[in-house]
A = this chain, B = another copy of it.
Amino acid sequence: MSILVVGSIALDTVETPFGQAEEALGGAAVYFSYAASFFGHVRLVGVVGSDFPEEHLELLKNRDIDLAGLERADGATFRWKGRYDYDLNEAHTLDTQLNVFETFAPAIPEKFRDSDFVFLANIQPGLQLQVARQVKAPRIVACDTMNFWIEGAYDQLRETLKSVDILVINDAEARELAREPSLVKAARQILKWGPRTLVVKRGEYGVLMFSDHSVFSAPAYPLEDVYDPTGAGDTFAGGFMGYLSTQEEINEMAIRQAIIFGSTLASFNVEDFSLNRMKTLQMQDILERFAEFKLLSHFEEVEDAGL
């Protein structure tokens, strides 16, 4: 099954308590693609500038990621500069240079329009909707967004959500989108606006999934140190959509397992800067950590006779 992703490709400069990375490969579409490529065939739509290092493209091509939708524009690649302190849940943005990403108008190649799974990474909601409409008969459309669009393009975002099956955002975004401090109430509200499933990322606290009839709570993997949280959310989404693309039926259990695969991929990604840890990751590592997640959250039912 084919997985289409539209989103940013970036050169990130990141500082954390454990070190730093200069102009390293990043961007939502990159993290997503790499993670999803463990499970299926990925098609990437994005833009880079004329200064984008060829080696980064080679890395993606070697994962069998189709770059037919990659635009090379005149100018500089999108750059983000940020810092994390010991509270690694919060990124402090030091500088953002949109560059060629500022006027990005995603064009979906004809051969990508039969994609089965579509992930609309965090871009302008109107563009997200345009992309969704260009795909003929997607099985699943998932999307991400951020506070910037919730505040600045609320009506467009609400319109886009009507075409989305699964919304993948963090807890602060869910509360802000629904204008409701209770996360559970916010989730109930958002599920009335289009998505059948809401996946709420909570960083070191794991993931909560809401659907009409159930709630699922996934733990985070208890790492000694998070070296660099950049890209964790998009890596999660890549593992999540990647696993779903292997499933004949997208039912409740498939979505729960996909959340654990997403969490697994994200837990590896934060062990090093940029995509460094991902480069050496093997499917065997992923399956072993999936099994660890099972142990981490397992408890047996009780015989109630004695109580």
Contact = CB atoms under 8 A, between A and B. Distances in A.
Contacts of A223: 184
A111 interface: no
A102 interface: no
A39 B302 CA distance: 14
B184 A260 contact: no
A291 interface: yes
A219 B307 CA distance: 22
A258 to B, nearest CB: 10
Contacts of A224: 182, 184-185
A217 B216 contact: no
A307 B287 contact: yes
Given A246-B306, A257-B299, A307-B39, A219 B217 contact: yes
Nearest to A214: B295
A56 interface: no
A225 interface: yes
A109 interface: no
A182 B216 CA distance: 26
Interface in A258-274: 259-260
A304 interface: yes
Given A181-B86, A287-B304, A215 B205 contact: no
Interface of A: 17, 38-39, 86, 181-185, 202, 204-206, 208, 214-220, 222-225, 246, 253, 256-257, 259-260, 283, 286-287, 290-291, 294-302, 304, 306-307
Query: Ordered nearest first, which 4 A-B pairs have the shortest CB separation?
Result: A217-B219, A205-B205, A256-B299, A86-B181
7 contacts: A39-B307, A183-B222, A202-B205, A206-B219, A216-B298, A217-B219, A217-B297
Given A257-B302, A294-B299, 16 more contacts: A17-B181, A38-B307, A183-B222, A184-B222, A185-B224, A185-B225, A206-B217, A208-B222, A216-B299, A217-B220, A217-B297, A246-B306, A256-B299, A287-B304, A287-B307, A291-B301
